[in-house]
Amino acid sequence: MSKKIYIPIIIILIILVTSGIYLWKKGDKTINLEENSNEQTSIPPVISGLSNDYLQLGDKKISLFIADTPELQEKGLGGRESLPTDTAMLFVFDRPDLYGIWMKDMKFPIDVVWFDDQYQIVHIEENISPETFPETYFTSVASTYVLEAKAGFVQENNLAVGNSLNFHRGE
């Protein structure tokens, strides 16, 4: 090949590599999840930030990541090292159904709470270990929402089937 062919190929490769590095760096976000905390948690780009919605449990305000698209719902909390205290992921579905939860790419155990369109708890699974993958956990009652939180969340907050949850739209 002549030098005339190599030069455009080298320029195109440099542009592609530079663009890829820029986009990769742009997608790497770190946010402070607790106002008075020095703890920083790296959030994968697929769940890039907390919503303004929250769950009120007594005097506790639980910040929520919202998973309302098939991509976010498939990823869930997978790939994360941990989840800050008083933070959970809320899966929002279009209609009531028997939604399953798995532990793909999970690195810590979680509690899972299914609830209906009236925010009433219909099923709970506690302390699901990452080692249970590829098992999928289902409820036998149709639900519209699923909440994933650190293992121990259900017990700490005295949650039980039949309880109603109090969600708020953020401002």
Write down the domain spans for the chain. Answer: 1-30, 43-168
- Token pair belonging to 62: 């639980």
pTM, two decimal places: 0.69
**Mean pLDDT lowest among 8-17, 75-84, 147-156:** 8-17
Task: Find out whether 161 and 121 touch, Cβ atoms under 8 Å.
Answer: yes
| Cα→Cα distances 1→7, 11, 13, 124, Å | 11, 16, 17, 66
CATH superfamily entry for domain 43-168: Protein of unknown function DUF192 (2.60.120.1140)
What average pLDDT is seen over the chain? 79
Q: What is the largest CA-CA distance in the chain?
A: 75
Q: What is the CA radius of gyration of the chain?
A: 20
Rounded Cα distance, 124 and 58, in Å: 19
Q: What is the pLDDT of residues 114-123, one digit of tens each?
A: 999 999 999 9
Q: What is the pLDDT of residues 28-60, one digit of tens each?
A: 332 223 333 333 333 333 334 567 788 999 889
CA end-to-end span of the chain, whole Å? Answer: 62
Rounded Cα distance, 54 and 96, in Å: 21
**CB under 8 Å to 51, separation ≥6 — which residues?**
64, 65, 66, 170
Task: Find out whether 160 and 124 touch, Cβ atoms under 8 Å.
Answer: yes
